[in-house]
Amino acid sequence: METPHVVQRAGTVLAAAVVPLALAAPAALAVPPPAPAVTAVTPAGQSQPAAHAIPFTEATVTQHDDGSYSVNWRAQGVQSVTVYADGRQVARGGAEESVTVRGLPAADRQWFRLVPDRGDPLTLADRSLHLASAPNFRDAGGYRTSGGQWVRMGVLYRTGQLSKLTDADVAKLQRLGIRTDYDLRAPGERAKAPDRIPQGTRYVVADVTGEDVDLPATPEQAAELMTEGNRAYVSRDSARKAYGALFRDAANPSAYALAYHCTAGKDRTGWASAALLTALGVDRGTVMRDYLATNEYRADEVKEILDQATPHDAAILKPVIEARTGYLDASFDEVERRYGTFENYLHQGLGLDDRTLAGLRKALLTD
């Protein structure tokens, strides 16, 4: 007899039933298969498909060092949510819950499918890939849009430089189906720290700045450099060309899974993610939280850099290696100043037509 997983919810230990799922998922993304369709009953007693609307307003998965997972959600208009992972039911809760799931087998990435009693299900994983050699390698999806759709996970990834990837991490990315690598760095950065990527991965140079930048002399100059740099991500010809190319590939499912990166995965990569999420309809507050999350993922790395520097150099480096609200605000301000609206930036700045943008939203948003 198979031992059920143990789930802790609201201080109570529950034995979750073992319920196999019906269909196999694509191996490259290792995503659990969809649950059976939910049906509604008409007044005449006839069954019909329920409205295709994901009721979740919030949902996250967090993997812990001990191998357990926290799954949190909030859903509107439902009474119960059933959680599936590893081909079986692992938890069940109400409209708003926080559960801890233990005992799942080791996996490159563990996916959870949240199935409400009304509406469409949602599939999520921990955003981080937990790569020791690339701590800021994380999923760009898993966010809700203002219109109630969700940005798909397992499709686009944002990261820092890939030159230090271990053999094990390269193999993991191979198994996860990383097919395209967009390098947003300048020539000197690429020469000094070339990417290590899985065999067969398509490598694309999309140089945002077109030049290497020297470290300034004072902390004030460093902060101003970063602010002006973020404006340039919107206005500079090389940046508009690079981001336009990235958007076109992001709209092309044959390029998936696609990873894009700079050196820290913070500024050039940060604007790439901010622009993509905004184009998909994610609100500004969520976009900013995703941008600032780099400070959490890179906390150990940043501390090591600052600890090894002299106090003078550390003071100058700190504005350069941190993600700050004002930096991303500068990019959005530049969009408004030059183009008036974000949609104009997409069309006029990045040269994207309606067909490409429609394809982007169709490919990256849930139905």
Active-site positions read 262
Is 47 in contact with 39 (CB distance < 8 Å)?
yes
Handedness of CA 304, 181, 253, 240 (dihedral sign): positive
Which amino acid is residue 80, in one-letter code? S
Residue 356 to residues 116, 239, 244, 245, 248, Cα–Cα distance (Å): 33, 19, 10, 11, 7
Q: How far apart are CA 157 and CA 177, in angstroms?
A: 11
Phi, psi (rounded to 5 degrees) for 84? -115, 145
- On whether the CB atoms of residues 140 and 158 are closer than 8 A, the answer is yes
How far apart are alpha carbons 307 and 338 in whole angstroms? 40
CA 40 and chain centroid, separation: 33
Look up residue 281 and give its two tokens. Answer: 């309809």
Helix 237-250 × helix 354-364 angle, to 10°? 50
Q: How far is CA 330 from the centre of its chain?
A: 22
Burial environment of residue 363 by CB neighbours within 10 A (0 to 12, 13 to 18, 19 or more): middle
